[in-house]
Amino acid sequence: MKRESGEKNYPIWVVMNPKHPISHENWTPILDEIQDRVYREMNTRIETANIYFRNAVSESRLVPNTLNWWGPEVAKEIELFKKIAFENKPKMIFSLGAFAFEFLRRVFEIKPEKGPKAWSNSNLGDEFERAIENFDINKANIIPLLHRVGANSSFIEGHNYFGRKSGENYYTYVGAKLAEIIIQHKDYLSIWIDNSGSLNNSGISP
């Protein structure tokens, strides 16, 4: 996969660890759930072709490990991302996995800085809930997702750390939460396909 795709000026960004290209497979079911709920509520869909996808770092070798977590090359990548985020002002930045989430926390100077094993599924779930609860359309919102989900789409020993219910489908729960936020702020997000099939830049009136 190339370093980036989509449009930087689009309100929705997805940031990944280049070591985990499967992340796209775990993003699509969430997007499908969002689209289904948006269509049922608003009779329109999100223009997905413009979503901005970006690997957090340019090469897999730069992804920190337990021995060398954050080197100078990663610091340069953080500064680069900070620059493009400031210039384009995305509203929703989804991180896929622990590294991408901590990378974004450092981009936006969220303290304390943490190491590679701090972000378990449970902790990422807590941060997801916090991001939804504190969502602010006037700033960039970092929303953590998982880069890998088990075959049954629920978490360890049947406990869904995101949904807080045993066996609840991860994609359904997360997609529903995100759809609710997106619909709530529909007039402030230039992401909609109008009836002619083109992007509606003014949003959808209630």
Compute φ and ψ for 25, nearest 5 degrees.
Answer: -70, -30
How far apart are the C-alpha atoms of 15 and 102, rounded to whole Å?
Answer: 11
**CA 94 → CA 16, 132, 198, distances in Å?**
9, 12, 24
- What domains are there in the chain, each with its CATH number? 4-29+46-155 (3.40.470)
Buried b (16+ CB within 10 A) or exposed e, 19-46: bbeebeebbebbbebbbebbeeebebeb
Average pLDDT over residues 79-101: 95
Q: What is the pLDDT of residue 160?
A: 52
Per-residue pLDDT band for 167 (boundaries 50, 70, 90) equals low
Average pLDDT over residues 173-201: 86
Per-residue pLDDT band for 159 (boundaries 50, 70, 90) equals very low
Candidates 191, 186, 4, 202; CA nearest to 90 is 191
List the end-to-end C-alpha distance of the chain, in Å, as a whole number. 39
